[in-house]
């Protein structure tokens, strides 16, 4: 089962009828076309079951988004009850729903104090596009039409729309789709792969571009694609100072980190940062319904009020009442069950187990974590030999999948992040399987 989940070699079962028609996402299509996908039929807690009855521990929690865990029937009940009462509700043309208003009020309560207004989208990618568009639109209304440039970071990830792809700093995702949007430049980010970028680079770039042309700086508080890049404690406060000094909007991309993932409700709270705009999705509904949001400062909203025309932006399903109702129930679970606190406490246990893993295996050459996000780096050559060193992460991922654990490799870095409700005992079981897989691969 080498390279399972990355090669598509996951099954020997009979093909399901729909496999002749489905186009899967963010995957190498050719091997999946040949061998078939992993087809999940049900899930509870951190456990997935596939069409063949096999069970997997979901170490990446869906797409790092099922924060309250699978199998929460109360969320299904809320969705069904809301759908029976109101199948659809629009936020266009001056209309809205009670659910959207109640969720706006709840978000104002739990997000950083700087944010007071909320624009709803369908997901995280269109939330990024919305944040960029609303920033540029506000600058035009404020008489600064030249203030358009967005500064993002190398190896950062901001979604798959054209705006999100342009802001994303991963070369492989930018080089195969033709011309991207103008007005986006990239700088380094600290924490991984020898990149020691500081806020000084942001300031230098603003000065080179011209402060009168720079609209926003966009970044994830903690970025996964560089192998879980956790910045030094002085980084984000310095970034906030630079943005304030040059009148540049700080957009915090909390799509993955938000709603408790890092042991705080939002990751920027780890450094006391109040952004100008904040994108949210994933954990807002724990993936039970599609929804995204952008939080805005009150003064940004007041600028938008200066237009004589309409706000030229929106999505048919943005702020769907069923999604908003599920989001409210999901946030209630997070608060009522103390899941943010659990993520912090169990996150300390994850950090201790990572230290033990590194001390036990010479092939584990680096570890780091924050709340329910963890990563360990592999010495690929020592683990699988020089010829396959670059594929060490994929090889270990395949071994783990063969033994019922799903994780995410970023090169030779293994990244995981289970549900916020995960107890210590399940973390211990996960690390036992990490050990078994490392030893199996070492035996060759």
Tokens describing residue 439: 């030893």
CA distance 201 to 208: 10
Give yes or no: residues 282 and 175 share one domain.
yes
d(CA 408, CA 36): 19
pLDDT value for 5: 52
Q: If pLDDT is split at 50, 70 and 90, which confidence band does 14 have?
A: confident
pLDDT at position 7 is 43
Q: Of 319, 246, 296, 298, whose CA–CA distance to 134 is shortest?
A: 296
Question: In the beta sheet, which residues pair with residue 375?
Answer: 368, 415
For 338-350, what is each residue's pLDDT tens digit?
999 999 999 999 9
Say if residue 395 is in the same domain as residue 411. Answer: yes
**Does some domain include residue 1?**
no
> Are 26 and 164 within 8 A, CB to CB?
no
In a domain, 408, yes or no: yes
Number of helices and strands (H, E) in the chain? 15, 15
Tell me the pLDDT tens digit for each residue of 282-315: 999 999 999 999 999 999 999 999 998 999 999 9
Could you tell me if 412 and 368 lie in one domain?
yes
End-of-domain residue from the set 336, 365, 383: 336
Shared domain for 93 and 30, answered yes or no, is no
- Tell me which of 336, 367, 401 is where a domain ends: 336
**Residue 86 domain flag:** yes
Q: What is the pLDDT of residues 261-280, one digit of tens each?
A: 999 999 999 999 999 999 99
Helix (H) or strand (E) holding 370: strand 364-370
Q: What is the pLDDT of residues 397-423, one digit of tens each?
A: 999 999 999 999 999 999 999 999 999
Torsion angles phi and psi, residue 16, rounded to 5: -80, 150
Whether 144 and 209 map to the same domain: the answer is: yes
> Over pLDDT 70: what percentage of the chain?
97
Q: What is the mean pLDDT of the chain?
A: 94
Same domain, 329 and 352: no
Question: Final residue of a domain: which of 336, 360, 377?
Answer: 336
Q: What is the pLDDT of residue 12?
A: 64
Q: Is residue 297 part of a domain?
A: yes
- Asked if residue 61 lies in contact with residue 419, where contact means CB atoms within 8 angstroms, the answer is yes
- The strand pair at 117-121 and 149-153 is best described as unpaired
Both 228 and 106 in one domain: the answer is yes
Q: Does 103 share its domain with 212? A: yes
Half-sphere exposure of 285 (CA within 13 A, CB side): 27
Tell me what pLDDT residue 10 has. 53
Q: Are 119 and 133 part of one and the same domain?
A: yes
Number of domains in the chain: 2
Whether residue 239 has pLDDT greater than 60: yes
What is residue 2's predicted lDDT score, i.e. its pLDDT?
A: 34
Looking up residue 316, the CATH number of its domain turns out to be: 3.40.640.10
In a domain, residue 10? The reply is no
The range of the structural domain enclosing residue 268 comes to 73-336
pLDDT tens digits, residue range 156-200? 999 999 999 999 999 888 888 888 989 999 999 998 767 789 999
Residue 171 lies in a domain: yes
Tell me, yes or no, whether 135 and 114 share the same domain: yes
- pLDDT reported for residue 310: 93
Can you say whether the dihedral through the CA atoms of 422, 425, 428, 430 is positive or negative?
Answer: negative
Same domain for 58 and 145, yes or no, is no
Distance CA 41, CA 138 (A): 45
User: What confidence tier does 11 reach under pLDDT thresholds 50, 70, 90?
Assistant: low
pLDDT tens column, 23-71: 888 878 888 888 888 888 999 999 999 999 999 999 999 999 999 999 9
Is 64 inside any structural domain?
Answer: yes
Asked whether residue 293 is domain-assigned, the answer is yes
Query: In angstroms, rounded to a whole number, what is the distance separating the alpha carbons of residues 159 and 280?
Result: 12
Quick one: 134 and 259 in the same domain? yes
Average pLDDT over residues 103-121: 97
Here the CATH number for the domain that contains residue 58 is: 3.90.1150.10
Instruction: Read off the pLDDT of residues 372-389 as tens digits, 9 standing for 90 and up.
Output: 999 999 999 999 999 999
């Amino acid at each position: 089962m080498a390279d399972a989940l990355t090669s598509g070699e996951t099954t020997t079962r009979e093909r399901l009828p729909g496999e002749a028609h489905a186009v899967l996402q963010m995957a190498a299509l050719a091997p999946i076309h040949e061998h078939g996908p992993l087809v999940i039929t049900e899930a509870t807690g951190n456990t997935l079951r596939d069409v063949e009855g096999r069970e997997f521990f979901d170490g990446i929690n869906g797409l790092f988004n099922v924060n309250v865990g699978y199998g929460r029937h109360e969320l299904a009940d809320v969705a069904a009850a809301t759908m029976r009462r109101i199948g659809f509700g629009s936020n266009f043309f001056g209309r809205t729903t009670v659910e959207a208003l109640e969720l706006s009020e709840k978000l104002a309560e739990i997000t950083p104090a700087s944010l007071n207004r909320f624009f709803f989208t369908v997901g995280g990618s269109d939330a990024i596009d919305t944040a960029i568009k609303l920033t540029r639109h506000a600058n035009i209304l404020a008489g600064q039409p030249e203030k358009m440039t967005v500064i993002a970071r190398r190896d950062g990830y901001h979604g798959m729309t054209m705006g999100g792809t342009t802001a994303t700093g991963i070369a492989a995702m930018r080089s195969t789709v033709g011309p991207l949007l103008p007005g986006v430049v990239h700088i380094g980010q600290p924490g991984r792969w020898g990149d020691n970028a500081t806020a000084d680079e942001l300031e230098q770039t603003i000065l080179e571009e011209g402060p009168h042309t720079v609209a926003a700086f966009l970044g994830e508080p903690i970025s996964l694609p560089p192998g879980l890049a956790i910045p030094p404690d002085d980084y984000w406060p310095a970034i906030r100072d630079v943005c304030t000094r040059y009148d540049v909007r700080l957009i915090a991309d909390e799509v993955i980190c938000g709603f408790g993932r890092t042991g705080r409700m939002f990751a920027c709270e780890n450094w006391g940062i109040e952004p100008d705009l904040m994108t949210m999705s994933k954990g807002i509904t724990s993936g039970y319904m599609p929804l995204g949001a952008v939080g805005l400062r009150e003064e940004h909203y007041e600028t938008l009020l200066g237009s004589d025309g309409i706000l030229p932006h929106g999505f048919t399903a943005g702020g769907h009442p069923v999604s908003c109702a599920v989001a409210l129930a999901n946030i209630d679970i997070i608060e009522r069950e103390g899941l943010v606190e659990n993520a912090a406490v169990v996150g300390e246990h994850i950090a201790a187990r990572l230290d033990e893993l590194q001390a036990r295996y010479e092939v584990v050459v680096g570890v780091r974590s924050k709340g329910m996000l963890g990563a360990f780096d592999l010495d690929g050559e020592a683990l699988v030999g020089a010829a396959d060193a670059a594929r060490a992460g994929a090889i270990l991922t395949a071994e783990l999948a063969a033994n019922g654990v799903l994780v995410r490799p970023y090169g030779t870095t293994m990244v995981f992040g289970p549900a916020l409700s995960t107890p210590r005992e399940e973390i211990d079981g996960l690390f036992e399987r990490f050990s078994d897989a490392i030893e199996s691969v070492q035996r060759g």
